[in-house]
Every structure is written in structure tokens, then in C-alpha cells.
Amino acid sequence: MQANPIRVLLLEQIHPEAVELLRCAGFDVTSLDRALDEDELVAALAQVQLLGIRSKTQVTQKVLDAAPHLLAIGAFCIGTNQIDLVSATAHGVTVFNAPFSNTRSVVEMAIAELISLTRRLTEKNKAMHAGVWDKSADGAHEVRGRTLGIIGYGNIGTQLSVLAENLGMRVLFYDTADRLALGNAHRSASLKELLHDSDVVTLHVDGRPENKNIFGDAEFAAMRQGSIFLNLSRGFVVDYAALRRHVEDGHIVGAAVDVFPVEPKRRGDEFVSELRGLDNVILTPHIGGSTEEAQQDIGQFVANKFLDFVNEGSTALSVNLPGLGLPRRKDTLRLVHLHRNVPGVLARVNGILAEHEVNVEAQLLGTKGDVGYLVTDSVSGTTQEIVDQIRAMPETIRLRVLT
């Protein structure tokens, strides 16, 4: 137990499992059920070392400038576009996310929505609640034998591909990266080709800035007459005004949308969108990954990343730093050195250690872009003078000593 426990702030209803794991480790945990705006976050982070958020809290440069003790941010979700990663790296703040934990939840929702829309269940349900009995099969189809076009063939896209094939669908995919096709999925040579050949088109792209507005009027027009559109990825990648026009004119016969360019911050706030009021459009409040199972898995995953980072200096699966995980030897002192990635840093650190006759037991260096991450273990002899000398190196961004 440390003399001054690590202070943790968790926002946006992080799963209780994460809270329990961190408290059992001796951390001082504060958990809130809402997001904080920029000014609130600046005030809250003055003494905080670990911050856990989901998608609504924006961690800006201003926030990071006001958080001198912050060591790591955990995004308890897939996306990290709500975090200024460049500024976080410059401040020596490690960022973790949960790239796999809610994959199945998103995929199952996509399957449920494409079946509902293909069978016109949303329209039948509304008619029944209005007292109208309409047993007609007009416009209702099986998904078996139909073609699913997946845009973005990453963790979610690939798993959706496998499940859709098991339902008897033909699967096409398009990705700007080189991806291995699973099962009988076929890679489309271009986005235009995929849109032309698909009965259902579903977006599963990431939040990088270049994906903004990648799907608009031209892409909807290129889709088949009578096709279906799904977006469970990012709100800012689609022109929803264009989607409404194509739904209203019957070119797109159904759509399901879970993410929006602007989303309410709190439960109960008004939701505003061009897509409201369309009977054959399913709208959900960004809940693709919001199952109890997924949130529990995410809570465990990111909380354990925090623990490994604090106790061992491990950055495995970090979003912004080199991913290192050096096994800890018994009775060693560990120096964790985040620095600018320039030639000679390793030699200088080892030179300082050699001058003080410190023998290195184990060492690992990784680089990523503009930064390097060095983990060094020694049995004895690392003094405050050594620490001060390494910390004073002009390349040093942050130095931690783990005993």
C-alpha cells in the first residue's frame, strides 16, 4: 500500500467491477454517473492520477494542461477520438482503450437490425400498436441469400462477416487497409463496387479525422434501389440529411443508426436529428456496445490495464505509447522513462547508471513516432541523484520510479 494512494476519477457510469478492482488495489476511487464538461474536468483533475471515461467526456489540451499529476487515461470503450492524443503524449499521459470487449455486442445489434429491417418488423410493430392488422408479405425478405456489404473490416467487421455467413448471407467487404478475408467473404475492389453489389450496407470504420463525411449523397445514390443502410460506427462519418432524402424517396427502404455527430450529454436530454419521424429508420442512443456483459468486460479490461501500468509500467495495447510489457524480476527497482525519440537516449541513461556503478538486470526500449519508452530494472544502487540526472535530461518527458 502506498503512503499516498493513487487517486482515480471514473466518469459516465463505469461498471462497478472496475471500481471494485481498483479499490481492492488500494486506490482512492471516485465514480460519477455522468460526463464532465471542460471546466468541470479541469477542476476535478488537479490531484488525479488515473482518469476513466467513455465517449462523452472530452479530454482537451486545456484539460491536460491543468492535470499535472495525471498518469493515464482509460477510455472504457473502443474509440479514443474524444481524447487529444497528441497533447496526452506530450504530457506523458498514457492512453488505454478496450478495442475488443464490446465487439460481440455491436455485432449482435447489427444482426438484429438488418433482420428487423429486411423483414419490415419496425413498420409491422407500429401498425399493430395502432390497431392495424397487416399480414401482407410485401417487401419482407429473408436475409438468407442476400448480400451484406461491410465497410471497415476490423474487429467488428470481421466478426459480423462470420455471423452473417452463418445466416446464409453473401458477404462483401471494403477496407482501405489490407485485410484477410474470413470464411467466404470477398473483398470488393472499390467502395463503388461494394455499394452496387450489396442489399445491406453497414459501416464499421474508426474515428480517424479523414473518415469525416465519407458517406454522403453520392454514396447513397450508388447503393442498390431498395437497399438497407446501417451505421454503428461514428456519427460524423455520414451525411444524415442525405440519408433522409434517400429514405423519403424510397431509394433506401430502411436504415438503422446508433451514432450521431452531436449527442446529448445526459440521459433525458432532447435528442435532435434529421432522422426523427421516419417509420423505417431505427434510431438507438449509442448503445451498440451497451450490454451488461460488454460493460463488465470493458471494466475489467481497462482497470487491469491501469493496474499493470501503475505497478509494472506496462504499456501493452496503449493507444499512444510504445506497447511494452517487461516481466518484473523479484527485488528489483524499475525506472520507467518516457522520452522524445532522438538518437542517444538509451546510451545516456546507461551512461548515468554506469557512472554510479548500477548494474542493469533487465532492459527494454520501444519507440513510436516521436516518443520512446524505456524500462530498466536494477537490484540496488539507484539513488535520488541518478533519478534527478535522468529526469533533468532534455529528452525526458516523464520518469517514474517503481519499487
Q: Report d(CA 151, CA 220) in Å as an integer.
A: 13
Q: Report d(CA 265, CA 55) in Å as an integer.
A: 10
| Per-residue CA distances from 305 to 97, 180, 313, 319 (Å) | 9, 29, 10, 12
Torsion angles phi and psi, residue 48, rounded to 5: -90, 140
Q: Report d(CA 395, CA 338) in Å as an integer.
A: 9
399: its cell numbers: 520518469
The vertex-332 CA angle with 329 and 336, nearest 5°, equals: 95
Cβ(245)–Cβ(217) below 8 Å = yes
Cβ(299)–Cβ(74) below 8 Å = no
Which residue numbers are catalytic? 234, 263, 286
